[in-house]
Amino acid sequence: MKKLNILDLVGEDCITIEDGEKVYDLIHSELKACRPVELDFAGVTVFTALFFNSAFGRLLKDLTTKDLERLLKISNLTPLGRDTLKLVIKNSNEYYRDPAVRKAVDEILSEQAEEI
């Protein structure tokens, strides 16, 4: 099992898209090949949904929630971090599995991008 220490990889604040992409890039191919990965969050104190979306939400494009739960072990994540991750996984699953949700979200994001 591949094991990654998030504190060493990202630092104690997991907040940016770029930080999430670092994690995603290291675990995506492993998980897609059905090889288990453990992520240790010991010492990490700050999380954002933005980080979790970038690191984990996109995994559901290629994996089922069941496969993700089976292959990805998360250790030492704070209760708030676990709650945030659960919400991101739920929302990402809906986005990738329900075309109506995906269309609605994409339209809103497109409209917001035009306003900027």
Q: What CA–CA distance (Å, rounded) separates 76 from 54?
A: 20
Is the sign of the CA dihedral 65, 2, 5, 8 positive or negative?
negative
Number of domains observed in the structure of the chain: 1
Helix-helix angle 99-115:79-97, to 10 degrees: 100
Give the range of the structural domain holding residue 110, as residue numbers without chain letter: 2-115
Q: How many Cα atoms within 13 Å fall on the side-chain side of residue 26? A: 19
- For the chain, the first-to-last Cα distance in angstroms comes to 43
pLDDT tens for the chain, 116 residues long, are 999 999 999 999 999 999 999 999 999 999 999 999 999 999 999 999 999 999 999 999 999 999 999 999 999 999 999 999 999 999 999 988 888 888 888 888 888 888 87
